[in-house]
Structure 1
Amino acid sequence: MKADAGREEALDLFPELKPIEAELELYAALLKRWQAKINLVSSPTIDEIWLRHFADSAQIQAVAPNIRRWADMGSGAGFPALVTALLLKDQPNAVIHLIESDQRKAGFLRAVSRETRAPAIVHAERIEKVIPTLAGQIDGVSARALAPLTRLVELAEKPLQQGAIGVFLKGEEWRDELTAVQALGSFSCESTESRTRKGARIVVVKRKASPS
């Protein structure tokens, strides 16, 4: 398979990726280099990075285009957070906090953010320790392939309760997870069909307004 398989499709789906194409090329090269040392992504997806990872990640900012301050939980190889950061690269006051407890993965995230000059801050700590300290400093919380939706809401509860929104990329299991979160009663959920994966959704979680 060609190393840039899906590239044109990704750029057609998300034209906003075109201005950062050079940065994404650098990101892809770094990922392939580091993948030889540590497992960052599933090996079969390496050659599909543009569609499977870059375009998929671009959906976060597409769903919440006005948010400039993000925290990403369990950032791993940087999806979706580093793509979000690159999309916001030229926006004033943009900052994306990447939370990844694995020290080697955190090192990779720092290398990519340094080389691409993405507005990213990497926290090599557990999510439970970092997220509460960011409440009031962020307007959005993201995650991809990390945990069930109820667990994501639990982890992000403090910033969500202070008005941040959660934007989470979910697979085919999204429907049951959505029902479970709505049963909690404190949050409302909306979902949008994924533009890159059939059956997947982007779920937006917000604090319910207090009754007047």
Structure 2
Amino acid sequence: MRPEPAEGRDAVLRAFDVSRETAARLDAYVGLLRQWQAKTNLVADATLASVWSRHVADSLQFQPLAAEVRRWVDLGSGGGFPALVTAILLVGREGAEVTLVESNAKKAAFLRTVIRELRLPAAVEARRIEEAGPVLAGAEAVSARALASLDLLCGFVAGRISPQVPCFFAKGRQHGEEIVDASARWRFTVTAHASRVEDGAAILELRDIAPRGKDA
């Protein structure tokens, strides 16, 4: 597969005003991703050729939405988007820590390798999301990308985080329908942050997630 042209990478770095040090870490991350992808399915093969414009750019949107947050928990981290990008942006911030919840052993091994080699303020919890209650309890923000429906995501976090903790869930053009579907079972406040990468897509910021009563 032909790699993404250099101008794709450069355009992303310019668009997000990335520092030289951050760019170097992102380069190293992408390099490791390409190496491991040959033996471990970290991202869809069809998207690897556009890793910068698709995965990296999308992931660079999360951390600025809660710039004051230091302790993130990312659910179903997979190949590390957005969690490892968030950790790269938090390098050097006092008290910063990103916890990546990923049950797949091979993917968890990859994530640990990137964290170790890039010296990132992050750690991997190789467990199922349903078993991540103690991890979520310490979160100041939660993220997830390409993981599950909004309905299921609400179920993963409801009652396991403080009501004021923001959850940032990346969603495509049909996010309005997902909000309606999830609202049948859950109460929440939601802010849709328009994607800078894909027209019509959004990062949904949810707070105050709680189940609806049977008579609601």
Q: Could you state the TM-score of these two structures normalised by the residue count of structure 1?
A: 0.91
Partner Cα separation in structure 1 for residue 200 and residue 186 of structure 2: 26
- CA shift for structure 1 position 182: 3.5
Instruction: Check if 1:87 corresponds to 2:82.
Output: no
The answer for the alignment partner of 2:213 in structure 1 is none
What SS is found at the alignment partner of 1:203?
Answer: strand
The answer for the alignment partner of 1:205 in structure 2 is 206
- Give CA deviations for 1:126-147 in whole Å, capped at 9, x if unaligned: 00101x1124411111000000
- In structure 1, what residue type is equivalent to 2:11? E
Of 82-91 and 3-12, deviating more is 3-12
Of 1-10 and 173-182, deviating more is 1-10
Indicate if the aligned counterparts of 1:140 and 1:166 stay in contact, CA closer than 8 A: yes
CA RMSD of aligned residues (A): 1.8
Q: Superposed, which structure 2 residues align to 1:177-188 within 5 Å?
A: 177-184=178-185, 186-188=187-189
- Give CA deviations for 1:56-110 in whole Å, capped at 9, x if unaligned: 1011112221111111000000000000011001100011110110000000000
The answer for the alignment partner of 1:119 in structure 2 is 121
- In the alignment, structure 1 segments of 5+ residues that lack a partner are none
The answer for the alignment partner of 2:22 in structure 1 is 20
The answer for the alignment partner of 1:104 in structure 2 is 106
Indicate if the aligned counterparts of 1:172 and 1:201 stay in contact, CA closer than 8 A: yes
The answer for the alignment partner of 2:214 in structure 1 is none
The answer for the alignment partner of 1:173 in structure 2 is 174
The answer for the alignment partner of 1:143 in structure 2 is 144
- In structure 1, what residue type is equivalent to 2:135? L
- In structure 2, what residue type is equivalent to 1:48? S
- In structure 2, what residue type is equivalent to 1:164? V
Partner Cα separation in structure 2 for residue 155 and residue 185 of structure 1: 12
More helix by share: 1
Partner Cα separation in structure 1 for residue 182 and residue 75 of structure 2: 18
- Equivalenced residue count is 208
Indicate if the aligned counterparts of 1:67 and 1:139 stay in contact, CA closer than 8 A: yes
- In the alignment, structure 2 segments of 5+ residues that lack a partner are 211-216
Of 18-27 and 53-62, deviating more is 18-27
Partner Cα separation in structure 2 for residue 89 and residue 159 of structure 1: 27
Partner Cα separation in structure 2 for residue 60 and residue 121 of structure 1: 18
CA distance 1:185–1:40, shift in 2 (3 Å): closer
- CA shift for structure 1 position 2: 4.5
- Give CA deviations for 1:38-67 in whole Å, capped at 9, x if unaligned: 111112322222221111101111222111
Partner Cα separation in structure 2 for residue 5 and residue 99 of structure 1: 33
The answer for the alignment partner of 1:190 in structure 2 is 191
- Give CA deviations for 1:157-191 in whole Å, capped at 9, x if unaligned: 13444431100111122111112334445311110
Indicate if the aligned counterparts of 1:182 and 1:189 stay in contact, CA closer than 8 A: no
- In structure 1, what residue type is equivalent to 2:131? K
Of 6-15 and 92-101, deviating more is 6-15
Of 109-118 and 183-192, deviating more is 183-192
